[in-house]
Amino acid sequence: MADEDVTNPGSPIPDPHSGSRGSFGGGAFNSGYGSAGGGGSKGGGSAGGGGGASSGGGSPSSVPPPNPGSSGGSSGARSASKPPSKERALIEGVLKQMPPSKFNFTTKPPPLASDAIPGYDIVREIHRGGQGVVYQAVQKTTQQKVAIKVMHGGPFASVTERQRLEREVRILATLNHPNIVRVYDSGEVQGAFYYVMDYVSGHGLDTYIAAGPHPIERTLALFTTICSAISAAHLKGVIHRDIKPSNIRVDADGVPHILDFGLAKLSAESAVGGRDPRAAMTMTGQFVGSLPWASPEQAGGIPDQVDIRTDVYSLGVILYQMLTGKFPYQVVGNMRDILDNILKAEPAKPSTVRRQINDEVETIVLKCLSKEKERRYQSAGELGRDVQRYLTGEPIEAKRDSGWYMISKTIRRHRVPFVAGAVVAGLVVVFGIAMAIMYSREVNLRQIADSEKAKAETALKAESEAKAAEVVQRTRAEQNASRVRSLALSFMLDFNENIANMRGATKAREGILRKAKETLSALAAESSEDPALLLELATAYDKVGDIEGGLYLPRVGDTVAAAKSYQAAREIREKLATQNPSDTKIAAAMGESLRRAGYVAQRNRKLDEAQALYQQAAEKLAAAGDAERARRARTDLADLTVIRASQARDPVTSPALIASAQTTYAEAEQYWRGKATADPADAKAAQMLGWMIDKQAKASIALGQAMMASMRSVAETDKAGALQRMQQAQTAFSDAQKLAEKAAIEFDRLAKAHPANAVYARDQALAVYNAGDALQRTAELMNEAITLGVSPGPKSLVDPVYEASLQRFNESLVIFERLASADESNLEARHDLILPLNKVGNQLRGLNRLKEAAAVFDRSLDLRRDNFKSDATEQHRKDLAVGCYKRAEVHEKAAATLQGAERQKELAAAVALYGEAVESYKSLAEAKIDGIARDLAEATDSLTRAKTAAGG
């Protein structure tokens, strides 16, 4: 990291971007790597910390700025131009008469020697803070750059300081996320505690903000990554409590990293280190957090009210800054005024600062900054998803505050006397049906209030009281409904998404689905005619359907159940559309229901029905002004057209259908290329561009397969026609290879720009895989054409093409292996690894490199067995059957080259594995899984053949 990248310390409050906590922060001056420890002590300030304000809570403007050249503490704050007082002279005289100490109590130790920490070469000092120093170093064994944080004070550091730093290490060690700095090592040097972490070059987010304004979509994309990292901490039970720009570092690739968990606490804790809860707020006489980014509950000094929604508020302040370059309210001046602003002041609307901020973005920001925790996003994950919805053109879930809520806030602010007509006892927010019932009771109380109001019309005072009661009851009912929705959906989505790809998670996800559906049913029964709640329920039903219908990998896999959930969402939206025919938001949601209905019809092989539904969806979304999702529906339609083309196997029909689909893909490619060119930092546009090119590659493969099947069907009767079809297939496979290579280049560029994002590397691996697939099919076409007498070419021409395909599959395998090794618990990555292993094994078998093929298929089979053992889903059973069959084929082929006992050994192994495959296919057939009959017949035939060869 360059020296100029480090954030310089500044004054405590007048410059919030300085990174200094001063008298209010929980730590000393903050570098790009976060503080080197906790905060300054009461009164005198920590060593090098710049002298905190006294415990009397004076104005922050009275705190002198730190002297970077001094040793900190009170001596560092003394003016050189002012003569010492008599009291100071007496103290210094006494000190001179004392014998020198054998210990060195200096609070600013000299820099470490380059070899001071075993295993590391110290390169340079990066930052010196209040309780420690951060060094850049190189790990000797790996030559990897690292950062090392060393605590000040050595053996004389306070127990609290030592415990805080050790605790930060323990917390960071539990967090495994690409956008949170990792801890590699810890220990002691010269009596001082240290730990080793990621070295992140680049600059702080505060520098990014100061260089703004940046394009809104780019800013939001960066912010979603920050939310993802904070959400990962929340799901581990960690509350950061000090999220601010200087604790977020943006590396050279534009990727953010969360730093400094020195003030973090575990959500299960009631206090820090077992102390009284008040200690969490007042430890060492300081405010815990950084005041300009603090939440109302932090500013109010209520530690047991601090939870993950506290971090959501801080994220809201940061998002406000990223978009506008300003704070949402005044954070400079008297401390009491600043606290009052955090507790009471309404944020200035972001659009009044920057006109380009639209209503939806403003709604998201203001929801984060609600003074009441219940009205904020209930987690960082929920916030990040809503921002992502905006970026992808989907309706956001945040809602503007209702008129009744604003009235109730006005009443509370001005303290107008009013008497509630009814009191609700025991407002306890619980998850699920109980909360829905409570909401219903609140509605009944509102109706009672209406009745009381009618009876009291003759008395002006009674009427006023009834109106006030109505406001209170409406507000309570709305708040309870909001709690129901937020807690239910947050639990469903946050927890489910974060265990979706974990091995062995299927049973847990089935349980989540059951509870989610019970909750949704209860809410639907109590939803009445509230359009906002009904739309949210429809969205939740869609998400449940998405989980149920994902037959691939770890998802539960129930198309029938998915169809029912999608239908429930569709019925809700149809009812709303009938009642509100001009509401474009409802119309767009209806279009999304049609898309999902098309998906179900396609999975059930009802292609005509699916085509009609996709067409309706595209038209509905376009009419509602949702151009982005209308384009997706047209892409769905093109995907369906490719399936039709592969089934047609006709030299006229198949090319015509593929041409139609390719036109749609090409239009989409042009659209996303335009967006990517206009903003090179728009990762989403770059990814969509690569996807559209890759779709064209797969469409060309489908065309080649159709033409190859057509060639096969006429080879005996029409050699000229067969040759023509062979040439069409060859051209299609050649085009597919070029397009897949082109897509791989796009994804490679994206993966290098965002090395921490595994999704882009996976896209690249799949594109390289598709290039290998196109080459493999070219080789198969050549081989079959020669065998059928359609082409006179020698078979010696085929092997080099197989070799070329093997090279591509190996290239994709390298990427997939890297992704799988990065997280061994990720089931999707493990399943991805099976795909190239299968292809590599096929090519090696086709090239008669049987020992190599056997080793590859053995590895593939081990993975499949492990996946089935972890999650005994039908998909994994099918994967296992395929793995058994592939390995049996190699045993059988090897047997053909051997004699005697060795031959019998290979055949016995083939029989055993073919038999296992048959049993698995029988189980799948009994479960009525589509497309199994042909696989079962083929496996049965192979088993019979192997038994016969073995003499059994």
Q: How far apart are CA 108 and CA 130, in angstroms?
A: 9
User: How much of the chain is in helix, strand and coil states, percent to nearest 5?
Assistant: 65, 5, 30
> Residue 34: its pLDDT value, please?
37
Q: How far apart are CA 567 and CA 599, in angstroms?
A: 12
End-of-domain residue from the set 362, 380, 406: 406
The model's pLDDT over 901-950, given as tens digits with 9 standing for 90+, comes to 999 999 999 999 999 999 999 999 998 887 799 999 999 999 999 999 99
Q: Are residues 376 and 478 in the same domain?
A: no
388 in Cβ contact with 224 (< 8 Å): yes
Average pLDDT of 851-863? Answer: 95
Q: Are residues 458 and 496 in the same domain?
A: yes
Could you tell me which residues come within 8 angstroms of residue 582 by beta carbon, excluding any fewer than 6 positions away?
A: none
Instruction: Indicate if the pLDDT at residue 89 is higher than 60.
Output: no
Instruction: Indicate if the pLDDT at residue 865 is higher than 70.
Output: yes
User: Taking all residues of the chain, what is their mean pLDDT, rounded to a whole number?
Assistant: 76
- Please, how many CA atoms are within 13 Å of residue 666, restricted to the half-sphere of its CB? 7
Q: How far apart are CA 97 and CA 100, in angstroms?
A: 9
Is 464 within a domain?
yes
Instruction: Indicate if the pLDDT at residue 546 is higher than 60.
Output: yes
Is 429 within a domain?
yes
What whole-number percentage of the chain has pLDDT above 70? Answer: 70
Highest mean pLDDT among 87-91, 419-423, 520-524, 868-872: 868-872
Please, what is the Cα angle at 876 between 765 and 878, to 5 degrees?
A: 100
Q: Are residues 317 and 345 in the same domain?
A: yes
Its domain, for residue 271, covers: 203-406
Is 91 within a domain?
no
> Residue 648: its pLDDT value, please?
80
Q: Are residues 326 and 283 in the same domain?
A: yes
CATH (domain of 319): 1.10.510.10
Q: Are residues 377 and 429 in the same domain?
A: no
Q: Are residues 343 and 458 in the same domain?
A: no
Average pLDDT of 432-436? Answer: 43
> Residue 477: its pLDDT value, please?
55
Is 109 within a domain?
no
> Residue 779: its pLDDT value, please?
95
Average pLDDT of 639-662? Answer: 88
Average pLDDT of 694-723? Answer: 94
Is 734 within a domain?
no
**213 prior amide bond cis, ω within 30:** yes
Quickly state the pLDDT bin for 131 (edges 50, 70, 90): low
With the CA atoms of 67, 68, 69 and 75 taken in that order, what torsion angle do they form, in degrees rounded to the nearest 10? 40
752 in Cβ contact with 676 (< 8 Å): no
Average pLDDT of 466-482? Answer: 55
Instruction: Indicate if the pLDDT at residue 443 is higher than 80.
Output: no
User: What's the token pair of residue 67?
Assistant: 């002297």
- Choice between 259 and 703, residue whose per-residue pLDDT is larger: 703
Nearest Cα to Cα of residue 490 among 553, 569, 429, 563: 429
End-of-domain residue from the set 406, 431, 466: 406
Instruction: Indicate if the pLDDT at residue 750 is higher than 50.
Output: yes
Q: Are residues 400 and 500 in the same domain?
A: no
Amino acid at 783: N
Count: domains in the chain? 2
- Choice between 192 and 381, residue whose per-residue pLDDT is larger: 381
User: What's the token pair of residue 129?
Assistant: 């803070």
Q: Are residues 428 and 387 in the same domain?
A: no
Q: How far apart are CA 264 and CA 587, in angstroms?
A: 44
DSSP bridge partners of 136: 124, 147
Is 297 within a domain?
yes
Q: How far apart are CA 587 and CA 566, in angstroms?
A: 16
End-of-domain residue from the set 345, 375, 406: 406
The model's pLDDT over 579-588, given as tens digits with 9 standing for 90+, comes to 888 889 899 9
> Residue 707: its pLDDT value, please?
93
Lowest mean pLDDT among 10-19, 265-274, 829-838: 10-19
Is 239 within a domain?
yes
Q: Are residues 337 and 445 in the same domain?
A: no
Is 165 within a domain?
no
Q: Are residues 395 and 454 in the same domain?
A: no
- Choice between 551 and 134, residue whose per-residue pLDDT is larger: 134
Q: Are residues 486 and 345 in the same domain?
A: no
Instruction: Indicate if the pLDDT at residue 88 is higher than 80.
Output: no
Q: Are residues 365 and 447 in the same domain?
A: no
